[in-house]
């Protein structure tokens, strides 16, 4: 498996830091986010003011009484001149970044107003918020990310009861077949498979019985390429990979490399996605195929996982805040792309991306993208995705997932999207439909801007007498 890397300087040994070193760095940032000098200066200032007040004001009955009856007002530690992402997380609530109608807002920075400038593409954000269909949904969450930077382009959704605050950052949702992305990557690197490798299974495609994870070949055995098993979300194939070829330690290692059970730094509280394995063979089959409700993932994390497949296996820290400035216009925080790991090699990422492309063309993601090759915008894109579907814990809602990406065929622009809908009694707008809307709007705007720019350049050339003889 590829080493989980950071983008910062390597260690003295020359080896890039791994996930555990990245986590220790986050802890050090949290402990040291207020410089010692600022605290010492603040204490000295309080002492000097107190001494001067005592020297220049005579004692009175009122002041003596106040000393006995009034508690001293607590001092608020000043905000450091510049702050890190961990400090920003203490100032911004998850709801501050959810369904925003404006790309800027103001927060309280320890008694001083601070202006927050987001990374959101507000045209995309407003279009997405306006497209939400909550009639039959308990939750909707859609996140769009720039794969090459981790920059959040849109974050919108719906929470019927208001209990999640921001469902895009909520980790309660079963990952379902989205986890097949992790299993497929592990199978390519650990079991030396490729998209064309033949795998076999017995029984139904979407069931997972103990008999189906046994390695047996009969006249009823079905053999298919791994890419088709991925595109068709064939549970027994991935169950056998987990139980018979990967095992507990390998699955756990790969899950954590992709960010499960890990704190991922963000400007608002982001609960870690959960993965827990045992040595039981059938349990491993359930985990590897996503046929369980214990492996959970947040929609934001799902978008990051999809992004790695079109970013040469690189995983970037997400960021929804571009910068924060104070009332004087001084910069207090600025986000920069931060590579937190590389869970898979570039060649592996290319294999998984190819499997996701097949899933959109003829697999479980084909319906939401039907006719995309004739769409005026989507025909210029290569699109890949992975769907997932499973009931929640009490079977009161059906969790519907899409995680995927779109890449320009004749250009470098790309976007990663994750959409989750918790349908209740009736199935409403599907997750894949929201993802298609994001891709159409994002690239439609991009193509229109390029066309307008080209037209403006053409007019300028005409006015200047340009052209070839």
Residue 381 pLDDT: 98
Q: Tell me the average pLDDT across 59-77.
A: 39
Residue 55 pLDDT: 39
pLDDT score of 19 more than 80: no
Shortest CA distance to 185 belongs to which of 247, 251, 264? 251
As a whole number, the mean pLDDT across the chain is 87
Q: What is the pLDDT of residues 113-126, one digit of tens each?
A: 999 999 999 999 99
Whether the Cβ atoms of residue 356 and residue 309 lie closer than 8 Å to each other? yes
**70: pLDDT confidence band, cut at 50, 70 and 90?**
very low
Residue 131 pLDDT: 96
Residue 1 pLDDT: 53
Residue 67 pLDDT: 31
> Could you tell me which residue, 58 or 429, shows the higher pLDDT?
429
Residue 386 neighbours by CB distance under 10 Å? 32
Residue in the block written with tokens 């369980």:
292
Q: What is the pLDDT of residues 351-368, one digit of tens each?
A: 999 999 999 999 999 999
Round to whole Å and give the CA distance between 103 and 439.
20
Whether the Cβ atoms of residue 233 and residue 264 lie closer than 8 Å to each other? no
pLDDT score of 65 more than 50: no
Residue 29 pLDDT: 56
Shortest CA distance to 340 belongs to which of 303, 304, 366? 304
Q: DSSP class of residue 409?
A: T
**279: pLDDT confidence band, cut at 50, 70 and 90?**
very high
The residue ranges of every structural domain in the chain are: 122-454
SS3 417: strand
pLDDT score of 48 more than 70: no
Residue 25 pLDDT: 62
Q: What is the pLDDT of residues 129-170, one digit of tens each?
A: 999 999 999 999 999 999 999 999 999 999 998 887 899 999
pLDDT score of 2 more than 60: no
> Could you tell me which residue, 193 or 37, shows the higher pLDDT?
193
**468: pLDDT confidence band, cut at 50, 70 and 90?**
very low
Whether the Cβ atoms of residue 318 and residue 428 lie closer than 8 Å to each other? no
Question: 346-362 and 180-190 are packed helices; what angle lies between their axes, rounded to 10 degrees?
Answer: 130
**61: pLDDT confidence band, cut at 50, 70 and 90?**
very low
Round to whole Å and give the CA distance between 96 and 429.
26
pLDDT score of 56 more than 90: no
Shortest CA distance to 386 belongs to which of 91, 181, 242? 181
pLDDT score of 31 more than 80: no
Residue 456 pLDDT: 86
User: What's the burial of 122, exposed, middle or buried (CB within 10 Å: 0-12/13-18/19+)?
Assistant: middle
**4: pLDDT confidence band, cut at 50, 70 and 90?**
very low
Whether the Cβ atoms of residue 267 and residue 300 lie closer than 8 Å to each other? no
Q: What is the pLDDT of residues 382-394, one digit of tens each?
A: 999 999 999 999 9
Residue in the block written with tokens 């490729």:
194
Q: Tell me the average pLDDT across 227-248.
A: 98
Question: With b meaning 16 or more CB within 10 Å and e meaning fewer, what string describes 255-285?
Answer: bbbbbbebebbbbbebbbbbbebeeebbbbb
Residue 199 pLDDT: 97
Round to whole Å and give the CA distance between 2 and 384.
23
Q: What share of the chain is helix, strand, coil (3-state, %, to 5)?
A: 40, 20, 40
Residues 6+ positions from 435 with CB-CB distance below 8 Å: 142, 368, 385, 402, 404, 417, 418, 419
Widest pairwise Cα distance in the chain: 102
Say which CATH class 122-454 falls into. alpha beta
Residue 402 pLDDT: 98
**74: pLDDT confidence band, cut at 50, 70 and 90?**
very low
DSSP 134-177: -TTEEEEEEEEE-TTT-BEEEEEEEESSS-SS-GGG---SB-GG
Residue 460 pLDDT: 74
Round to whole Å and give the CA distance between 239 and 247.
11
pLDDT score of 405 more than 80: yes
């Amino acid at each position: 498996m590829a080493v989980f890397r950071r983008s910062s300087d390597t260690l003295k040994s020359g080896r890039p830091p791994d996930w555990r070193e990245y986590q220790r760095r986050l802890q050090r940032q949290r402990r040291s986010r207020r410089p010692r000098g600022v605290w010492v200066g603040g204490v000295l200032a309080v002492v000097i003011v107190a001494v001067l007040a005592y020297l220049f004001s005579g004692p009175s009955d009122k002041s003596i009484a106040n000393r006995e009856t009034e508690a001293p007002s607590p001092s608020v530690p000043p905000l450091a001149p510049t702050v890190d992402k961990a400090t920003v997380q203490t100032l911004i609530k998850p709801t501050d970044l959810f369904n925003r109608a404006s790309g800027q807002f103001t927060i309280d920075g320890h008694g001083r107003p601070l202006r927050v400038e987001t990374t959101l593409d507000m045209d995309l954000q407003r279009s997405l918020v306006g497209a939400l269909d909550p009639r039959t949904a308990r939750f909707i969450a859609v996140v769009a990310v720039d794969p090459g930077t981790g920059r959040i382009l849109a974050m919108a959704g719906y929470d019927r009861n208001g209990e999640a605050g921001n469902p895009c950052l909520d980790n309660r949702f079963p990952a379902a077949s989205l986890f097949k992305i992790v299993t497929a990557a592990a199978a390519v690197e650990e079991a030396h498979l490729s998209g064309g490798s033949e795998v076999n299974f017995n029984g139904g495609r979407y069931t997972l019985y103990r008999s189906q994870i046994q390695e047996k070949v009969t006249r009823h055995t079905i053999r298919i390429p791994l890419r088709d098993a991925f595109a068709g979300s064939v549970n027994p194939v991935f169950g056998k990979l987990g139980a018979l070829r990967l095992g507990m330690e390998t699955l756990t290692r790969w899950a954590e490399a992709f960010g499960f059970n890990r704190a991922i730094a963000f400007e608002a509280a982001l609960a870690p996605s959960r993965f827990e394995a045992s040595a039981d063979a059938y349990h491993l089959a359930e985990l590897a195929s996503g046929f369980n409700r214990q492996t959970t993932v947040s929609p934001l994390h799902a978008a990051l996982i999809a992004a790695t497949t079109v970013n040469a296996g690189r995983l970037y820290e997400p960021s929804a805040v571009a910068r924060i400035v104070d009332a004087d216009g001084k910069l207090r925080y600025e986000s920069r792309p931060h590579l937190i790991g590389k869970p898979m090699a570039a060649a592996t990422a290319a294999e998984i991306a190819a499997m996701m492309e097949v899933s959109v063309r003829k697999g479980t993601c084909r319906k939401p993208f039907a006719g995309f090759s004739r769409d005026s915008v989507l025909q210029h894109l290569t699109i890949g995705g992975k769907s997932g579907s499973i009931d929640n814990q009490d079977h009161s809602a059906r969790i519907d997932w899409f995680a995927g990406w779109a890449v320009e065929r004749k250009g470098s622009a790309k976007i990663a999207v994750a959409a989750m809908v918790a349908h209740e009694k009736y199935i409403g707008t599907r997750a894949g439909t929201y993802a298609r809307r994001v891709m159409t709007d994002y690239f439609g705007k991009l193509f229109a801007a390029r066309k307008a720019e080209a037209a403006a350049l053409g007019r300028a050339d005409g006015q200047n007498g340009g052209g070839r003889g």
